[in-house]
Amino acid sequence: MKTCKVAVVGAGLAGLCAARALNAAGIDLIVVEARDRLGGRILSADEAGLPAEDGFDLGPSWYWPQMQPAMASLVGELGLPAFAQTSEGDVVFERMSREKPQRYRPVAMEQQSMRLAGGTAALVQALGRELASERIRLGSRVTAMALNDAGVRLTLTSGDGSVDVLQADHVIAALPPRLLDATVSFTPEQDRATAGRWRQTPTWMAPHAKFFALYDRPFWRLDGLSGTAQSMVGPLVEIHDATTASRKAALFGFLGVGAGQRATLGDAALKQACLGQLARLFGPAALAPRATLLKDWAADPLTSTAADQTGGDHPLPRDDHWVAGAWDQRLHLAGSETSPSEPGYLAGAVIAAGRAVADILSSMDRT
């Protein structure tokens, strides 16, 4: 049976930051990730929708360094080039289907939204490079955890159904608490209040979907448009310029159509409706993209649960205990949603990971 001091469950930003800090402290760790890639909700993809070194952000795109010093520090430490979200040019507003969309001068952003060159996955690649490959186990889903005298026994299930076991002194569960509650069994069970708290914590952006239209050139800029649009007609409700630092032109939008309706309509009908809307807002050139991408996070079982198919509230910052009873001191939650500040955001993942590692190091000091 494989053993380690700390098992980190999930290789999203929180899991990778936790692994980085543990590594720096010389702690023996293993990261267990259910997907066959690193990054979790961070996914920068090429024209075919595959993870890429220079991709379009199908998950998070922005961070706000002035409000989020933890993210600003991480980007700085990793030496990643960042650039400001394009906002030069007019904004388009579509109020009603029987009215022509209107153009407006944009209001200056209070906090500049920043993007990373190469896509947000540049963070993941940089953090992944710092970890020795034997410390990461991809394609292994933690399906059960049991307390024993030595700590925690984790059951890992691979895609082919084979089962393995990992024994750890401590576990950092770096995934959304709601997903943890829905998909991992605990022996002994979590007490009712703890399980309830996990279940009631919404996973940020899990109900949402992003649509991208990729073009040969950012044609909207020639017309003095910024690529930003708001619509009360849909199917896209908020649209932005998604052109990469390497100048690959694109527009992206968040779908305002709910997860159930998206599943009923299907990708082809959604794509057609989105392109029709982009043509209304930005002109007929929008009808001829070189490629389109649609990522529906509500349909991704490693992000969303049944409870995430509707709603989409923002998790509230909570500084209280996420684990109680017999599991306290052995299990530490670090998904972004558990952060005492900026929960749900990239910054929240960095902060929550730092807190989980600090808790473990101080409990090691005590023993």
Ligand X SMILES: Cc1cc2nc3c(=O)[nH]c(=O)nc-3n(C[C@H](O)[C@H](O)[C@H](O)COP(=O)(O)OP(=O)(O)OC[C@H]3O[C@@H](n4cnc5c(N)ncnc54)[C@H](O)[C@@H]3O)c2cc1C
**348: three-class secondary structure by DSSP:** helix
Q: Which stretch binds ligand X (CB under 6 A): 29-37, 124-132, 188-196, 229-237?
A: 29-37
Structure tokens at 7: 């098992």
Q: Does 315 bind ligand X (CB under 6 A)?
A: no
Q: How far is the CB of 328 from ligand X (least distance, A)?
A: 21
The binding track of 325-344 with respect to ligand X, each residue x by CB under 6 A or -, is ----------xx-------x
Strand (E) or helix (H) holding 137:
strand 136-137
Q: Does 14 bind ligand X (CB under 6 A)?
A: yes
Q: How far is the CB of 113 from ligand X (least distance, A)?
A: 8
Q: How many degrees, rounded to 5, is the angle at CA 324 between CA 322 and CA 328?
A: 95
Kindly write down the DSSP assignment for every residue of 274-328, as one continuous string. Answer: HHHHHHHHH-GGGG--SEEEEEEGGG-TTT--GGGSS--PPPPP--S-S--GGGT
Q: Helix and strand tally (H, E) in the chain?
A: 9, 19
What amino acid occupies position 350?
V
| Binding residues for ligand X restricted to 128-167, rule: CB under 6 A | 141-142
Q: How far is the CB of 143 from ligand X (least distance, A)?
A: 7
Dihedrals φ, ψ of 52, to 5°?
Answer: -140, 155
Residue nearest to ligand X (CB): 12
Q: Does 175 bind ligand X (CB under 6 A)?
A: yes
Q: Which stretch binds ligand X (CB under 6 A): 7-15, 47-55, 83-91, 128-136?
A: 7-15
Q: Which stretch binds ligand X (CB under 6 A): 39-47, 227-235, 273-281, 317-325?
A: 39-47
Structure tokens at 345: 């955001």
Strands of the 209-215 sheet, one edge to the other? 102-104, 90-94, 225-231, 236-241, 249-255, 209-215, 291-296
| Binding residues for ligand X restricted to 41-80, rule: CB under 6 A | 41-42, 59-63
| Binding residues for ligand X restricted to 275-314, rule: CB under 6 A | 297, 302-303
The footprint of ligand X (CB under 6 A) covers 9-15, 32-35, 40-42, 59-63, 141-142, 174-176, 179, 183-184, 204-205, 208, 210, 297, 302-303, 335-336, 344-346, 348-349
